[in-house]
Structure 1
Amino acid sequence: MLHSYAFSNFQSFRERVEVDLIISRKVAMTEWMNEVPTGERVSRLMAVVGPNGSGKTALLKPMAFLSWFIGQSFQSAPDEGIPVTPHFANSGEPIEFECLLDFDGKVWRYMLRCTPERVLHEALYQKRERFGYMFVRDWDAVTNTYTIKQQDFGLAPQEARKVRANVSLISWAAQYNVPLAKRMAAPLVVTNVNFMGRVPMADQAVLVAAQHFSANANQYDRMRQLLSAWDLGLSGVDLQEMIINNPQEPSQKTWIPFGKHKSHGKEFHLPFTFESTGTQGAFVLLSRLLQTLEIGGLAVIDEFENDLHPHMLEPILDLFANPSTNPHNAQLLFTCHAIEVLNLVHKSQVILVQKNEDCESTASRMDAVEGIRNDDNYYAKYMAGAYGAVPVF
């Protein structure tokens, strides 16, 4: 599980900011928290709220980026840059990332300092009695080479020296079948965010979701049960493999979802293009959430409630609270404009984001804001502007 992550000089965040999912033991235990084997109490979700343009999406991007960098950066072309952007008022300085997590029953710290051109410092530490390095990698500008120290990481030194400037050493080592690197490079983060921002909800997203469900029978069944139970006018969802009109590949097929509707004793099948954007949005969202819930890991979702009725928020979040639907303690990190979420979670599970007059974003966990009481009506006081992180007109 992810315990925390921090970053600085990244997009609209110039100063260091930390997103901490560790919950104090003074807080009453809820189903949205988990006791991990390492002794900490970790939240299964974190909601990010704030006005438009405040930096909410930028707050999510570090975890989406680190997942890609650790797992897939080996696939980058040798002359390709690293897809990160420093704050425009601090463009000459490097970007820094750090995350803390438990994995394989141990606690790990990963650190990265880079520019869009190259890695300057990368390190992986494992906590025993204290943190000790598995590897440390530093760029030597004098010799134009990397110095790499390893301790039980397992990558042959001659292969480590070949690592490219735009590739994580973990991603690099996974290609050489280093066991720890292969496990860490596995896709454990599912997201609708890339370096440009939120991936738009379009017809292609529906087709990608249909393809996913066609290959995952358990998730397909669960999706049909949930969409029908959530009263979206559906009695079920069918997938049909159909030939598409592609002159370059006349026999190419794709999976098309159809909504099942009952009326006057008959059942009708409608292509999903005729369903509401809310139904399509729930279908795509479940394709991301159900795979996270099935294997564990982290779902990073921007504009979580997009096109959904506010009443849908709680039943979807409940998927992460219920042990039967979340047997592997998956986590959810999400931005949200439906402020009703403040009535559902504890103040320690909310991040408030705002931007100052210098176009610098800041973020604070809600329980760190002075003067917020446990018996406050968080929704009412937030809407009244008592906590900040609201639009100013």
Structure 2
Amino acid sequence: MLLRFRVANHRSIRDECELSFVSASAGDSVARATALRDHGQEISVLPIIGIFGANASGKTNLLRALFDMRDAVRTSFAEWATQPRIPRQPFKLAPASTDETTLYEVDLMLGANPVRYTYGFELSDERVEAEWLHAYPEGRRVVWFDREADRPDAEGGEFLFPRSGHDSSHGFLGKRDVLVSVTRPNALFLSTGATLNDPQLAALHRWFVDNLWMVTPGQDVKARSEWTQRMLSDPKRGKDYRKWLIELLSIADLGITGIDVDRETGEVALRHRSSDNSDLALDFVGEESLGTHSWFAFLGPMLAVLDAGTVLLVDELDSSLHPTLAAEVVRLFQNPKSNPRGAQLLFTTHDATLLGSAVLDRPLAREQIWITSKKTSGETELYPLVAVGPGDDEDLERGYLRGRYGGSPRVSVGEIARALIWIETERDREREAKAPA
């Protein structure tokens, strides 16, 4: 389960930004209790965070940063050696940022008897400048390893491990010297250790491999639809997925009564109720609507994440879903009965109705709402709505659209139209000035 994410110097994010799933409200109805404690207080974790903000304010960059951290952990050992430089995207609007490191860090909760872990690293173009992994068994920090390039105290090289006492017995117990010797400067120690089958590091590495599924507007809906179709052909879970899909497709009021799956090809046909009350199967590719394709393509990743208890990243939740469906997706993750394995959803959106309206009861608690805004320097600023301090009875949708919390375009009513009218007026004047007397 994801507790916290920290990033700096990634695309439009220059200064450090931190996103937290940890609930600050004791007894919040949507937060999930955990076995973790902090200063004697039980830690509760939110199943959902929604990020609101204007176009180009950095919402997508935040999701991309988390996904890029995942890619780094998965690929640094096998692929970075073949590339001219470490793949990263520092902030470009300040030349000094190119020479500064890019930072990623996550706090996770792993294991049947949950333990909190903090893992992070800093990258330059040439190498891993720093990397660290700390565990918190029984709530007490234990350093598994700390890595720092050009460490002033070079007695132990760039890696430091606990030497003795409580920390060493609860810390990293793997073949340290062997793993250090084969870890390239431009590869993560975590990736190296997991590739060489260290059991402790493999468990954390597996979280990155299995988590952080990402759905974006730019992805091919056809490819995701085909992936959902393959789920239906899974001999282990296909029947379950079929039941879930039929129910969710029906809820969307698409007139669907069933699903046929060709055993040989895996192709799907959706059955619809006809005017004479019989079922009629339509060709999925040629006869189903774009709306059906979008919802069907979204359901595959969503059901897989709910089934596995992992994390789903969705950029622009409202781009392919009607506001009512988007709200139902949020409620699906919020409800412990429909989300019994503690899956999490992190999404971006422009849909202010999710903040509460006369049409939709607000599906998000206030502490689940985060906002991105862009400074005049082009940097992204990230903050929770509760930091702005809206009143208990305040209409959040109206307040957001009016710019009370930031994160909305600085455009006055009619400003775009006035700008175009001014341009046309200037053109008319130029034409009149050039016309012969």
Instruction: State whether structure 2 residue 24 is matched by structure 1 residue 2.
Output: no
> Alignment partner of 2:262: what SS?
strand
Normalising by structure 1, report the TM-score. Answer: 0.88
The 8 Å contact of residues 308 and 341 in structure 2, kept in 1 or not, is answered as yes
> Alignment partner of 1:391: what SS?
coil
Aligned position for 2:293: 280
Aligned position for 1:255: 266
Normalising by structure 2, report the TM-score. Answer: 0.80
> Alignment partner of 1:113: what SS?
strand
Structure with higher helix content: 2
> Alignment partner of 1:265: what SS?
coil
The counterpart of 2:182, out of the listed 157, 162, 173, is 162
> Alignment partner of 2:325: what SS?
helix
**Alignment map for 1:4-23 (pairs within 5 Å):** 4-23=4-23
Instruction: State whether structure 2 residue 223 is matched by structure 1 residue 204.
Output: yes
Q: Aligned letter for 2:229? A: A
Moved more, 174-183 or 89-98: 174-183
Hey, what's the Cα distance between the residues in 1 that align with 2:204 and 2:254?
38
Runs of 4+ in structure 1 deviating by more than 6 angstroms, as ranges, are none
CA 125–283 in structure 1, closer or farther in 2 if over 3 Å, else same? same
Hey, what's the Cα distance between the residues in 1 that align with 2:233 and 2:187?
33
Question: Shift of residue 284 of structure 1?
Answer: 1.9
Question: Shift of residue 70 of structure 1?
Answer: 2.6
Instruction: State whether structure 2 residue 118 is matched by structure 1 residue 127.
Output: no
CA 106–340 in structure 1, closer or farther in 2 if over 3 Å, else same? same
Hey, what's the Cα distance between the residues in 1 that align with 2:247 and 2:134?
43
Question: Shift of residue 40 of structure 1?
Answer: 0.6
The 8 Å contact of residues 239 and 255 in structure 1, kept in 2 or not, is answered as yes
Structure with higher strand content: 1
Aligned position for 1:185: 205
The 8 Å contact of residues 355 and 362 in structure 1, kept in 2 or not, is answered as yes
Q: Aligned letter for 1:60? A: L
Hey, what's the Cα distance between the residues in 1 that align with 2:160 and 2:300?
40
Hey, what's the Cα distance between the residues in 2 that align with 1:137 and 1:365?
32
The 8 Å contact of residues 237 and 259 in structure 1, kept in 2 or not, is answered as yes
The 8 Å contact of residues 32 and 46 in structure 2, kept in 1 or not, is answered as yes
The 8 Å contact of residues 46 and 333 in structure 1, kept in 2 or not, is answered as yes
CA 270–117 in structure 1, closer or farther in 2 if over 3 Å, else same? farther
Identity of aligned residues (%): 26
Instruction: State whether structure 2 residue 100 is matched by structure 1 residue 93.
Output: yes
Q: Aligned letter for 2:66? A: M
> Alignment partner of 2:81: what SS?
coil
* Count of residues in Structure 1 that have an aligned counterpart in Structure 2: 375
Hey, what's the Cα distance between the residues in 1 that align with 2:354 and 2:371?
13
Instruction: State whether structure 2 residue 64 is matched by structure 1 residue 56.
Output: no
CA 164–239 in structure 1, closer or farther in 2 if over 3 Å, else same? farther
Hey, what's the Cα distance between the residues in 1 that align with 2:232 and 2:410?
43
Q: Aligned letter for 2:198? A: V
Aligned position for 1:312: 325
Aligned position for 2:364: 345
CA 13–146 in structure 1, closer or farther in 2 if over 3 Å, else same? farther
Q: Deviations over 1:224-247 (max 9, x none)?
A: 2211233122112333366xxxxx
Hey, what's the Cα distance between the residues in 1 that align with 2:174 and 2:71?
20
CA 230–173 in structure 1, closer or farther in 2 if over 3 Å, else same? same
CA 240–149 in structure 1, closer or farther in 2 if over 3 Å, else same? farther
Hey, what's the Cα distance between the residues in 2 that align with 1:374 and 1:188?
39
Hey, what's the Cα distance between the residues in 2 that align with 1:42 and 1:141?
36
Taking CA–CA contacts closer than 8 Å with sequence separation of 6 or more, which of the two structures ends up with the larger relative contact order? Answer: 1
The counterpart of 2:69, out of the listed 66, 70, 91, is 66
Aligned position for 1:376: 394
Q: Aligned letter for 1:162? A: V
Hey, what's the Cα distance between the residues in 1 that align with 2:246 and 2:188?
39
Q: Aligned letter for 1:267? A: D
Instruction: State whether structure 2 residue 410 is matched by structure 1 residue 392.
Output: yes
> Alignment partner of 2:338: what SS?
coil
Hey, what's the Cα distance between the residues in 2 that align with 1:82 and 1:342?
40
Aligned position for 2:377: 358
CA 361–41 in structure 1, closer or farther in 2 if over 3 Å, else same? same
Unaligned runs of 5+ in 2: 37-41, 163-170, 357-362, 412-437
Unaligned runs of 5+ in 1: 243-253
> Alignment partner of 2:337: what SS?
coil
**Alignment map for 1:203-282 (pairs within 5 Å):** 203-215=222-234, 216-217=237-238, 218-240=240-262, 255-263=266-274, 264-273=276-285, 274-282=287-295
Hey, what's the Cα distance between the residues in 2 that align with 1:220 and 1:165?
47
The 8 Å contact of residues 51 and 348 in structure 2, kept in 1 or not, is answered as yes
Instruction: State whether structure 2 residue 159 is matched by structure 1 residue 137.
Output: no
Moved more, 149-158 or 112-121: 149-158
